[in-house]
């Protein structure tokens, strides 16, 4: 299965206030993470891989300081952006 980064996920980053350059970086990280995961050949949740990599710098919407990781976790929790969208 070739999972593609969802435009709606990019929109979440943009709407959170992540800069265009940071979105490009996050997209490249997600693409590389998907490439690695696909190469493993195991049963891997590609949506989770993609979204985890894509949102890894979410906190940069607020700061580029070291605490952006903590802030990103807080933002992700508030907005549920790190939850799987396809929960049933």
DSSP notation for 24-51:
HHHHHHHHHHHHHHHHH-S---HHHHHH
Residue tagged 């350059």 (tokens) = 21
Please state, in angstroms and rounded to a whole number, the distance separating the CA atoms of residues 6 and 11: 9
What does pTM read for this prediction? 0.79
CA angle 76, 80, 85 (to 5 degrees): 125
Other Cβ atoms within 10 Å of 84 Cβ, number = 11
Domain positions in the chain? 7-75
pLDDT per residue, tens digit, the chain (88 aa), is: 588 999 999 998 998 899 999 999 999 999 999 999 999 988 899 998 999 899 888 888 777 777 776 777 777 765 555 454 544 3
């Amino acid at each position: 299965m070739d999972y593609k980064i969802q435009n709606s996920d990019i929109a979440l980053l943009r709407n959170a206030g992540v800069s265009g350059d940071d979105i490009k970086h996050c997209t490249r990280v997600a693409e590389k993470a998907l490439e690695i995961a696909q190469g493993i050949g195991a049963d891997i949740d590609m949506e989770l891989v993609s979204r985890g990599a894509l949102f890894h710098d979410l906190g940069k919407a607020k700061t580029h300081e070291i605490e952006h990781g903590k802030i990103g976790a807080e933002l992700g929790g508030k907005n549920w952006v790190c939850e799987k969208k396809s929960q049933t």
